[in-house]
Structure 1
Amino acid sequence: MALLLGALLIFGALFLVFSAIGGLSPERQGVSRSLEVLEAMTGTPAAEPGVEADQPFSERVLIPLLERLQGLGRRITGADQAERIRQQLDRAGNPAGWTVDRVSSGKILGTVVVLAFAAYFALMLGAQAPILILSLAVGAVLGFFAPNIWLYNTAVKREEELLKELPDAIDLLTISVEAGLGFDAALQHVARNTEGPLAGELNRVLQEMQIGRSRTEALRGLGERSNVKDLKTFVSAMVQADSVGIPIAQVLRVQSGEIRIKRRQRAEEKASQVPVKIMVPVILFILPCLLIVVIGPGMIGITEAFGSK
C-alpha cells in the first residue's frame, strides 16, 4: 500500500512539475497573449466548457506533457549529443517510435522518476544523510543514462545478428550475380528472400537508390550505420569495385571466401575459450561436490574410529 501511494505521489509530482515548467515559460506566456489578442480582434467565441472534457486523456495530458519534455530535452541536449543519439538510433535499427527528441525527453523523465524512487526507498529504509545523497546521485545518473544503455544493448544484439547473417547473405548475393542478375536486382533478391536486420538494411539501401542517391552513397551509408567490421570491409570492396570497374562477381566471390574464413576463425576462437570459461564453475560448484562424495564417507569413518577409541 505504501509503495502504491508513493508511486502515485511521484507521478503526480512529475505532472505538476512539468506542467509548471511549460506553463511558466516565456514562450508559453507570449503565445497565450498573442492568442488572446487574436481572439479579441476577430471576436471568435470561446470554446464550450464540455469540449475539452470530451477529448481523450492522452490528448489532454499525455501529448502536451510529452511535448514539454521534448522541448526541455532539446534545451539540455546539445547539437553534438543529438548527433550521437542519432548514430545510436541508426546502430539500433531505428526502433519504432524512437526519435532524438523521444530519447532526450526519456533521459529527463528517467532522471526524475528514478531520482524520486531512490529518494522514496531510501526514506522508507531510514537511510542516513550520506547514504541518501549517494542513492540520489546514483539514481539520477542511472535514470539519465538508461535510454543510452538500452540503445547500446539493442545495437550490440543487432550487430551480432548482422554478423551471423552476413556470410549467408553474401553467398546468396554471389550466386545471384553469377546467375546473371545485376547487382541491384541481386540485392533486391537477397532482401526479399532473407529475414532479420541485414534484410532491413539492404531494403533501406534499395530505397535510398530509388529516391535518387547513387549506389556508392547508399552503400557507404550502409557501412556508416553499423560497427560490424566485416560489413564495412564488404561495403568498401563494393564501392571500390564500382568506382574502378572491376567485375562485381569476382569481388563477391573473393569477399564470400574471406568472410567464410573469418566465420570459421571466430568459431574456433570461441571453442578455444570454452575450457577457460568452464574452469570457474567446475572449481566452484562441481569439484566441491565430488570431494564431498568421495572423501566424505572416509572422513566419517575416520571420525567414528577415532571417536570410539
Structure 2
Amino acid sequence: MPDSLLLVVLLVALAAGAIVLTVASLIKPERSRMVANLHRGERAVVVDAPEASRSTLGSLAQRLTPAPLISLLTRQHARAGRPAQWPVERLLTLKLVWLPVGIALLCLLAAVQAPPILTLLIGIAAIVIYFLPELLLVSRGQERDQRIQRQLADTLDQMMIAVEAGLGFDGAMSRAAANGTGALSEELTRTLQDMRMGRSRREAFTDLADRNQVVDLRRFVRAILQADAYGISVSDVLRSQADEMRLKRRQRAEEKAQQVPVKVLMPLMLCILPVLFIVVMTPAVLQMMETFGSL
C-alpha cells in the first residue's frame, strides 16, 4: 500500500506540473498570429496547414473531436486574438492526450483503494485540465473585448476627424488602424485587408462583428452598414457614434466608481474593523482585568 500511495502521489505531482506548464504557455504574453500577418502585409486570416505538415496526432484529434466542439474552440480562439503558439490543432491534441491519461489515473486510484477525498480531488483536477484551454481562451477573449471597448471611442474620434478633413471612410479607417497599437487596430486592419482581397464592405464588417463580442462595436458596425445601404452621411454617423461611445464610457466609469464602496465593505468588515476593535478595546479590557483582579 505505501508503494501504491507513492505512485499516486507521483502521478498527482505530474498532473500538477502539466497544469502549471499549460497555464504558463497559454497566458504568457506573445504576439498573435494576426499581428504577425499584419506586419508581413498578408491577409490576417488563419489558413489551415497542409495535410503533409500536420502531425499525425493532430489529424487524429481533429477527426475524433466532434465538429461542434471544433467550431466552438475556433470561435474562442479567434476571439482571444488567435495565439500563434496555441493553434486549434494543438489544443485539440492536448485534450485528446489528456483524456486517456485522466481516465487511467482515476482507474489507478480506484485500484489502489485511495481515499475518496483524494479520488474526488483528482477527478476535479482532471476535468479542469481537460477544459483548461477553453477556460483560458474565454478569459483572454474577455480581456481583449474590454481593451477593444476602451479603445473604441478614441478610434471613432480619429476616424471622424479624418473624414471631416476630406478622407474617405476607408482611408479614415486605415489611418486610425495605422496610428493605433491595440486589438481594435488589428481588427480594423484585418477588415481593410478583407476588402482589399475582394470582399464587399458588408461581408467584411459582418465578419468583424462576428469575431468580437463587444456590443458597442457591433452597434457601430450596424450603423455603418445602414448608412452604406441608405446613403446616409458617414461623417454624421461617426459623430453620433463617437458621442454615444464617449457617453457610455463615462457612464461605465461612474458605475464602477459607485461600486467601490460596496466592494470595499466586505474587506473592511473582515480585515480592518476586527483589528481596529482589538486595538481600541484591548487597553480597556486589560484595565478592567487589573481592577477586578485587585478587588
TM-score bin, normalised by smaller chain: 0.7 to 0.9
Q: Match of 1:168?
A: 154
Give the secondary structure class of the aligned counterpart of 1:292.
Answer: helix
Shift of 1:84: 1.0
For residues 48-71 of structure 1, the C-alpha deviation after alignment (integer angstroms, 9 at most, x for no partner) is xxxxxxxxxxxxxxxx9x823313
Amino acid across the alignment from 1:106: L
8 A Cα contact 2:106 2:123, kept in partner: no
2:76 to 83, 88, 106: 88
Q: Any gaps of 5 or more consecutive residues in structure 2? A: 1-5, 16-51
Shift of 1:127: 7.2
Q: CA-to-partner distance for each residue in 1:183-219, whole Å, 9 max, x for gaps?
A: 1111110011011110110110011011100111111
What residue is the counterpart of 1:264 in the other structure? 250
Counterpart residue number, 1:37: none
Following superposition of structure 1 onto structure 2, how do residues 109-120 of structure 1 map, counting pairs within 5 Å? Answer: 109-112=97-100
TM score, norm. by length of structure 2: 0.77
Give the partner amino acid of 1:160: Q
- 1:78 matched residue in structure 2: 66
How many residues are matched?
Answer: 250
Q: Does 1:252 align with 2:242?
A: no
Matched, 1:302 2:288: yes
Task: Output one character per residue of 1:59-108: Cα deviation in whole Å (capped at 9) or x when no partner.
Answer: xxxxx9x8233133223311111111111111111111333322211212
In structure 1, distance between residues paired with 2:105 and 2:148 = 38
- Percent identity over the alignment is 42
**Is the contact between residue 92 and residue 151 of structure 1 (CA under 8 Å) also seen in structure 2?**
yes
Pairs within 5 Å for 1:1-309: 6=10, 67-112=55-100, 128-309=114-295
Once the two structures are overlaid, the 10-residue window that deviates more, 289-298 or 231-240, is 289-298
CA contact (8 A) 1:91 1:225 kept: yes
SS of alignment partner, residue 257 of structure 1: helix
What is the identity, as a one-letter code, of the residue corresponding to 2:139?
N
CA RMSD of aligned residues (A): 2.7
Counterpart position of 2:31: none
Structure having the higher Rg: 1
Contact 1:88 1:152 in 2 (8 A): yes
